[in-house]
Structure 1
Amino acid sequence: MAESAVNFLLEKLSFLLEEEVKLLTGFREEVVSLKAELESMKAFLHVADAVEDEDEEIKVWVKQVREASFDAEDILDEYFYRFAEQHQKRHGFYGHLFKIAHTIKTLKSLHRIASELRSIKSRVSDISSRHQRYRYNSNILQDEGSSSSAGRKSALYELRRDEALLLEEGQLVGIEKPKQELVSWLLKDEVSNVQVVAVVGMGGLGKTTLVYQVYRDDEVKQRFQHRAWITVSQSFDLRELLVQIIEQLLRGIAQPIPNETYFKDILSLKQDVICFLGDKKYLIVLDDLWSVGSWDDLKNAFPQNNHGSRLMVTSRIVEVASATTTDRFGGYTFPLKPLSSEESWNLFCARTFHRKSCPNHLEDISQDILKRCMGLPLAIVAVSGVLATKDTSKISEWKIFRRSFEAGFDNNDKLKNVKKILSLSFSDLPYRLKSCFLYLSLFPEDFMFSKLYIINIWVAEGFIREMEDMTLEEVGEWYFNELCNRSLIETAAEDVDEAFKYFVLHDLVREIVLQKSKDQNFATIISEQNPVLLEPARHLSVSTTLENFRGGHNFSRVRTLLLFGAKGSISSISFSELCSKYGRLKLLKVLDCQGLPLDTFPECITKLYNLRYLNLSGTKVASIPRTIGRLRNLEMLNLENSLVEELPAKILQLHRLFRVMAFQSINDGSAFTKNIGVRVPKDIGNLKFLQDLGVIRASEGGLELMRSLGNLKQLRTLDIQQLEAEHGAALCSAIEKLGCLRRLYMETGEEAEILEVQNISSPPQCLKRLYMYGRLEMLPQWVPRLSSLGVLRLRWSKLRLDPLQSLQALPNLQELIFEKAHDGEELCIKAGGFQNLKHLTFICLSGLRKVTVEQGAMPKLQELWLEDCKLLEEVPLGVEFLACLNKLHIINMGDQLLSKLDPSSQDSDYLRVKHVPKVYIGSRDADGLHETKLS
């Protein structure tokens, strides 16, 4: 992380110099000198960052460098804050007086800032000299890094071996089913060519243990007489691994390894392996594979033959597992999941109480402890191993352990091993990803976040840098997906629409990131349990009332302020007090007040000149002041589910804005919530950098607003409502100009109003989500041409002809919803249609009497929803062909259809839906949806 801090600082120093910002001579010299010193240090930090946990002296040195970098960044941000405003336009006599006065202040401030920067440079030099010019020369430090790496590698082997044995001693609860699945796959006779089975999942899930049990299974041993188990790990010697493979293969046939093998080069060793395995049925396990590059180095040593040979791989990283199974071998990826609640409890009791049941007086405590393990076998066994030594009659000892376990891992050697195993994933991250991951420590336990929410904050903080042919958001998405691929972020709520997919941190992973964040002074969390801010904070999370604050709090360095106070904890008045009492928060970039009971827009916010991200979603704020125009650096404004109905004209002064979302969600009794948008200036098109805009009211700005939208060439999201037929031509013309559009939501003011969008000759080909709420009568011809479309929702369309015929060839469509969208009596899904569709919904199709699904249609459909189609007399013909269907919802349907679902009925349709695991019958009323599962 010191490397990360230095890199961010170097970027700011480079900006000052390369952009030719007007600097005093002395100040420029200090910038150049500090930059040179840091660049010479950077190469050493790359190695030092990796070994600091193993060397206390290096750890202290790295911390000093990191803190000096942070302080230097504060000075530079102070410079940007103080002198950016002088470039704003000021006119007239008073503007002239202001410039004179401001120049005098500028010179004094600039000399002070130059002096402070000079002090930082001297401090960095002192740090270097105190450690004998970084303690090592380059070669020695590299040797130290290699030595430490080798030591860590050896320790890792021991930890992984202990992990497998530890879980084996724990009776391997929950392992039998996945073991049998993997064994079955290995023994498939019909697959004769060499293939790969990749087991992937987060550290501590028991991947090694599972594969080890498969490896030593009697049937597997009998089938594969030539076997080898190789632990790859993060740092490995390719030559050494090849020698190990040869040793194990020869040992399996009771032959000694020739002495010359130890002296051969890599190419010769690979040729030896290929020669030995060429005509044999073999099984090779590559345990703990960390990179695609490692796989590329190893794969050519394994010959392709037709004897049914297999490779098994374990990895924490999805991308690595995928690379092994999609390469020239092909194969099968097996994602390993945490244990279920029942499996976790069985494992815990078997290990803690020696296969006896848990005593009643310890059950609540045990469940609390087990909850924090979240189904992670390694953690469960480590914790139960500690508890097994405690007296079950002394409940006080168990309560003490519960408190200490909630506080962290460092109180017990077994728990420390769990921490080390989980920490490996963090250590392997590139420096930019480390900053992004540490940021997640700011969120409360079990906090669910969306991908876009996190990416927006990373962008505002400056953690994301543009890459060639990629936007900041695309780079951020790549970063986020990489953390998911490394099993550091888990999916909490699935959804076809990525905008509604939520994620969470595993509790034990969160413990790791909290500790790392604390060690590196990255983030500070103020809560009721920890109300004191001991050191100046850079990234601050507050989840307590202001009255609980104790001690002196210095907010002058704060870049991020996330407020998660309980209801009633922070009002507009107390927030203003926060700004005034603890400084002007002049360096603040990110302010998140979502869900707080703010009833007015705090005026002090408009003085936060450096603010990039402002989130007031879920508050009671009803209006935005004209003074928001002062926030010249604001990039993102989130007013979702606030009470704001209009954005002031002064918002057009915020030329860096690229995301504005404002609406109120209302449940109108239908299956979907309704969003009420806001009025925006009709010249909104002047904000050239806008990428996301919604929900806006078309009726307020009329044709001028429609034409203005065409100027937003970078727009990726557009949500617009209260459309009228007269807007059609101008809207179609604007949409044709929005080539980057990914999501388009269009809604008329009334159900009977015509949505005039037929005349789009060149639709945005990147469009992934399309929502059309309004009368169409005919499906626009441009819709079936949207090859990237993944989600299509039609409401009030009143289509006369069956639209499925023209939509069924869309290659990427995953979700299709019709609500009052079709007036015909029949719908037919043809064979081969909708090859990737996963969710299909029909709501309020009042004339629909028959739905037919031909064999071969919708092969991936998972969920079918039928609601308020009262004339539909039976479940869709051909539903029995939908092999992947796991949910069928029958809501507010006619009596005739419901009677046919009765298993005892003579003409029952029950057998046609019997293969569906979950069939729900229910109703919807003012109180919501009521469903019961069909037995």
Structure 2
Amino acid sequence: MAEAAVVLALGKLVTSFGVSSLRTFIEKEATLLQDLPHIAKHIERELDMIHHFLRQVGTKIYNNKVLEGWIVRVRKVAYCVEDIIDEYCYNITLLQDEGRFKRVIHTTFCANVFHHIAVGLKDIEEEIKHLSQLKRDYREMFNELLDNTSDSADIHLLSSNGSIHSIKEDDIVGMKEDMELLDKWLDPKELTRIVISVWGFGGLGKTTLVRKVYDWEKGLKSFDCYSWITVSHNYNIDAILRQLIPELSEDQSKIPPDLGTVHRGKLNEALKEVLSNKKYLIVLDDVWDTRAFNELSDSLMDDNKGSRIIITTRNNDVASLAQELYKMKLNPLGNDDAFELFQRRCFQKSNTKCPSHLQELSRQIVNKCGGLPLAINAIGNVLAVQGAKEIVWRRINNQFKCELEDNPGLDEVRSALSISFMYLPRHLKNCFLYCSMFPQDYIFNRELLIKLWIVEGFVTQRGNSTLEEVADGYFIELIQQSMMQLVENDEIGRVVSCRMHDIVRELALSFSRKERFGLADINIETENKDDVRRLLVSNHEQVNQLIRSSIDLPHLRTFIAANKVANYQLLCLLISRCKYLAVLELRDSPLDRIPENIGDLFNLRYFGLRRTHVKSLPRSIKKLSNLETLDLKSTKIETLPKEIAKLKKLRHIFAEKLDDPEEKQLRYFRGVKFPDGVFNLVQLQTLKTVEATKKSVKLLKSLPELRLLCVENVRRADCATLFSSLSNMNHLYSFLISANDLNEPLDFDAFNPKCTKLEKLFIRGCWDNETFWKPVFRDYGANIKYLTLTFCKNDADPLPSISSSLPNLIFFSIRRGCWAEDITLHEGWFPHLKTLCLGNMGLRRLCIEEGAVIRLEVLLLISLASLKEVPKGLDLVSSLKKINVSMQHPEFKAEWERGNWKTKLHHVQEIRM
């Protein structure tokens, strides 16, 4: 984004040119160096004005072709500023870290470096002056943009919605159940006023569905009065009130004659009078903001007549204005319904049946629409006028992305989806475009994505929250605004992963290319190399292209290799040719070593080597002074070099080896040996996984900012020191402890924090029998929502103490260990538990008393070879939604069938045996 690029550049300018050590150094240098802070200040002021201008014109930028050239130049200037500032900051750090003797030796070198930076900034200053002059030269056009109060994007959207008022029967495919449910919600048996929401991302058919039901009800005259209002993004509440009053009035003569001029209060009173003692149906279509409804709500009377308000929206926050029981989320059409809709639209003249020679092509085209009714209808209209010409269909199939971008017949699709992007909050636009670079159907992991957003500079500090907490909020917002599709929540309800709809991704990629933001799935040889800022490669041909061209990408800042395509030759070229790289993600690639000159990437902030075959890191890693995330999980690395202690900005270290994929051994994950200096990295928030030694468990107390910590190979003798260190960690959210020996119980006595935010606890190994009665669990156990116990061969039943001290558990797992052959869950136990997993245990009987685990939704019984009986009381758990029993005893299965348990558990949605 041009605006976002300017913001990033501004942020770096503001914080970078107040370093007194540089002023001292440059006093003896040329005038140009002495003027450097003044030049930077001038650039900062000019960029700030450009930023305000871009904010003021808002979405009008996207609909003014003449502005595009100017915007491109603004963006390039902002990118150049960012590059120069990063280089400046790096050299300032070097200058400050060097001793006096080295500084004298490097005087000439430093002078040359800063002279180069000053010249670069001087050039940028001239370019910004030229941009400002262009803006003055074309002031009429710019003034017109500022004076024009209506966005063309809104006009286009309104006209699109207007065309939907005439609904054809063949537009409604795959929505029968939704229509019936919506019709049921309009039933007047419930006399209180009900707010209903229908939500989902653009193009799913929300308006079409609601309009069909609305017109049906209007024909039946089930309500006293009706009104359909398109709210849109730039709504005007007074205009909405002026539209509602005459539409809902039975007697038009009673409408105030001065309706067009009266103030808000008078309008509210008039609407209340119109609705008094009436049963009404009002549709608020395309609502973007909860304020729009809240401003209307007081005027929409509830006289217990069975009135209904239907809201269509793309935003989950708006949809939540309705009660959960009256909240309908639309999903893409299934394959069969999508193809049926396509046939109806495309082959109206041939009994809506696809000719045999076009069957395969048709299905390929429909699949690319991703079940989106708007896209299916639009592409069907385009093809309907082409006739059954296979050559034309094949061209459109092969050029689908280009058709989506520029075919006039698909304008409505572009408008419906593009406006969602245009009206995204500024802080989300870069985050959204970033997601578009990843391959089609890519499943985004929340933790990975938010770390990438942070190192890219997309996340800004808010209050006392960490950058990770702010980015986590961004992730949720994108899902709530229907820009991303939820894939999975974790066991305690947090979003784990999401994906991007294919059509949404294609349009996002077109914005990304237009904005010079990033590239993916492209032929790099045809691109303007200077414009490539971010690049994702996902096949070997793209890698070969990069190698053939010697990676001539001077301003590349992000490189991501997907699908295991990176190799050593590519990595060497990236290091030597792309000095501004900030993100280097190479997970799963067949790499076994890292070039010694990796330290040349002075700007590197994220280095991902997960599941590669790398065995060690070179000592030059100490030069990566900006590194924030180092991901070495499941590599071959056993010891980190002592030089890693130089990386003062490190926030996240993932470093552990998977020795036993079947998880049969206590130490199936082994920690990495960390040098002592790591414990001086006070900004660390994630440390996985530390191998416990007498020294390391003591040094952990120096890391009070840790949020996530894993410690393995813990001896009982070291527990007191370890838990004393943990007691200083007020922010610790997730903690894993793994014992050294099954015969040495872990001792939690020294765990005595003044406060703790601990929510997730993983214990591998045994513990003292009284552990969960300890003060830490009695005082803070209510915070813990996730508990996993493995290899816990204790000699006393801990469930009474766990149920008492950890009453808010949502997820509870016990695997590879047990204290008895029988387990009974008593009445009142685990009232909030949603998932219970029991696995690889010698369990013979499980009994669930009435009133126990009253909110349990998922029961997993994994590899319980001794369990011959179906758990007693299973049918009493009415909240169950899923049961998974794997590798069960034959007698268990026989009793299951004999007792007709599938019928008894008819309320359970998913049963796997």
TM-score exceeds 0.5 = yes
CA distance in 1, matches of 2:803, 2:299: 45
1:281 corresponds to which of 265, 279, 283: 279
RMSD, aligned α-carbons? 2.7
In structure 2, the CA distance between the partners of 1:664 and 1:160, relative to structure 1 (3 Å rule), is farther
Normalised TM-score (structure 2): 0.92
Contact 2:195–2:308 (CA under 8 A) maintained in structure 1: yes
CA distance in structure 2 between the aligned counterparts of 1:238 and 1:677, rounded to whole angstroms: 60
The answer to whether the aligner puts 1:341 opposite 2:335 as a matched pair is yes
Output the CA distance in 2 between the equivalents of 1:240 and 1:498.
41
- Residue of 715, 734, 740 corresponding to 1:724: 715
Is 1:116 matched with 2:120?
Answer: yes
Alpha-carbon distance, 1:248 to partner: 0.9
Aligned to 2:704: 713
Deviation of the 1:353 alpha carbon: 2.9
For residue 905 of structure 2, what is the aligned residue in structure 1? 913
Q: Which moved more, 1:457-466 or 1:823-832?
A: 823-832
Q: Which moved more, 1:542-551 or 1:514-523?
A: 542-551
Q: Does the C-alpha gap of structure 1 residues 50 and 185 become closer, same or farther in structure 2, counting only changes over 3 Å?
A: same
- State the alpha-carbon separation in 1 of the partners of residues 539 and 554 from structure 2: 20
What is residue 56 of structure 1 aligned with on the other side? Answer: 65
Give the count of matched residue pairs. 893
| Unpaired runs of at least 5, structure 1 | 922-935
Structure 1 residue 632, shift from structure 2 partner? 1.6
Partner of residue 453, structure 2: 458
In the alignment, which residue of structure 1 is the partner of 2:657? 664
User: Pairwise mapping of residues 735-884 of structure 1 onto structure 2 (< 5 A)?
Assistant: 735-762=726-753, 765-776=756-767, 778=769, 779-781=771-773, 782-783=776-777, 785-808=780-803, 810=806, 812-855=808-851, 857-884=852-879
Match of 2:322 in 1: 325
What is the match of residue 924 of structure 1?
none
- Does structure 2 retain, via aligned residues, the 8 Å contact 1:872–1:894? yes
Q: How does 1:272-671 map to 2 (within 5 A)?
A: 272-322=270-320, 324-325=321-322, 332-354=326-348, 356-392=352-388, 394-496=389-491, 501-525=496-520, 527=522, 532-545=527-540, 546-549=543-546, 553-564=551-562, 567=564, 569-580=565-576, 583=577, 585-665=578-658, 668-669=661-662
Whole-angstrom CA distance in 2 between matches of 1:331 and 1:898: 37
Q: In 2 relative to 1, CA 9–551 (structure 1 residues): closer, same or farther, beyond 3 Å?
A: same
3-state SS of the aligned residue for 1:469? coil
Aligned pairs (5 A) from 1:120-199: 120-132=124-136, 135-136=139-140, 141-144=145-148, 146-147=149-150, 149=151, 151-163=152-164, 165=166, 168=168, 170-187=170-187, 189=189, 191-199=190-198
Instruction: Provide Cα deviations, 1:13-54, integer angstroms capped at 9, x if missing partner.
Output: 211345556344311221122222222333222133421222
Q: Which of 20, 45, 48 is the matching residue for 1:39?
A: 48
Give the drift of 1:538. Answer: 1.8
- Please list every run of 5 or more consecutive structure 2 residues that lacks an aligned counterpart in the other structure: 24-32
How far apart in 2 are the matches of 1:650 and 1:724? 28
**Residues 524 and 545 of structure 2 are in contact (CA less than 8 Å); yes or no, is this contact kept in structure 1?**
no
Q: Distance in 2 between matches of 1:804 and 1:358?
A: 62
CA contact (8 A) 1:44 1:138 kept: no
User: Structure 1 pair 500/35, CA: closer, same or farther in 2 (3 Å)?
Assistant: closer
Cα distance in 2, alignment partners of residues 881 and 740 from structure 1: 39
Distance in 2, matches of 1:182 and 1:302, equals: 20
Aligned-partner SS, 2:751: coil
In structure 2, do the counterparts of structure 1 residues 450 and 533 end up closer, same or farther at CA, with 3 Å as the change threshold? same
Write out aligned runs for 1:79-98 (5 A): 79-90=88-99, 96=101, 98=102
Residue by residue over 1:146-170, the C-alpha shift from the partner in whole angstroms, topping out at 9 and shown as x without a partner, is 14x2x4333211112335657x453
The alignment-based identity, stated in percent, is: 30
Q: String of CA shifts for 1:300-343, please: whole Å, max 9, x gaps.
A: 22233332222211111112222x236xxx97322221112222
Letter in 2 for 1:70: Y
Equivalents in 1 of 2:93, 2:6: separation in Å?
A: 24
Q: Which piece of structure 1 moves more, 470-479 or 62-71? A: 62-71
Q: Determine the C-alpha separation between the residues in 1 that align with 2:20 and 2:645.
A: 28
Deviations 1:179-214 (A, max 9, x none): 21122223262x433231111210111111122122
Alpha-carbon separation, structure 2, partners of 1:469 and 1:651 = 28
1:802 and 1:826 in contact (8 A); partners too: no
2:507 alignment partner, SS class: helix
Deviation string, structure 1 residues 621-673 (Cα, Å, up to 9, x no partner): 01122222221221110011211111122211211111000123355435999
Distance 1:909 1:661 in 2: 45
Shifted more, 767-776 versus 867-876: the winner is 867-876
Query: 1:570 deviation in Å?
Result: 3.6
User: Helix, strand or coil: the match of 1:901?
Assistant: helix
Does the Cα contact within 8 Å between 2:551 and 2:574 map onto a contact in 1?
A: no
Q: Distance in 1 between matches of 2:600 and 2:490?
A: 39
Name the SS of the counterpart of 1:22 in structure 2: helix
CA distance in 1: counterparts of 2:874 and 2:728, whole angstroms: 42
CA shift digits 1:724-781 (9 cap, x unpaired): 2112111221221111111111112344442222542338632221111101253522
Instruction: Give the secondary structure class of the aligned counterpart of 1:262.
Output: coil
The 8 Å contact of residues 815 and 838 in structure 2, kept in 1 or not, is answered as: yes
Q: Shift of the alpha carbon at 1:793?
A: 0.9
Mapped partners of 1:914, 1:31: distance in 2? 70
Shift of 1:845: 3.3
Instruction: Please state how far the C-alpha of 1:138 moved relative to its aligned partner.
Output: 8.8
Q: Where does 1:918-933 land on structure 2 (aligned, <5 Å)? A: 918-921=910-913
Q: CA, structure 1 residues 474+671, in 2 after alignment: closer, same or farther (shift >3 Å)? A: farther
Alpha-carbon spacing, 1:186–1:836, altered in 2? closer, same or farther (3 Å): farther
Q: Residue 27 in 1 paired to residue 18 in 2?
A: no
What secondary structure, in the 3-state scheme, does the structure 2 residue paired with 1:664 have? Answer: strand
Deviation at 1:134, TM superposition (A): 6.2
Q: Give deviations 1:111-146, integer Å, cap 9, x for gaps.
A: 3432332222222222222232661599754322x1
Q: CA deviation at 1:674?
A: 4.1
SS at 1:710 equivalent: helix
Measured in 2, the distance between the counterparts of 1:67 and 1:449 equals 29
Cα deviation, residue 552, structure 1:
7.5
Matched residue type, 1:718: L
Match of 1:704, as an amino acid? K
Do the aligned residues in 1 keep the contact of 2:342 with 2:380 (CA within 8 Å)?
Answer: yes
Cα 1:359–1:722 change in 2 (3 A) is farther
Give yes or no for contact 1:880–1:915 (8 Å, CA) kept in 2: no
Letter in 2 for 1:131: K
Contact 1:536-1:553 at 8 Å conserved across structures: no
- 1:528–1:543 CA contact under 8 A, matched in 2: no
Q: Which amino acid aligns with 1:428?
A: Y
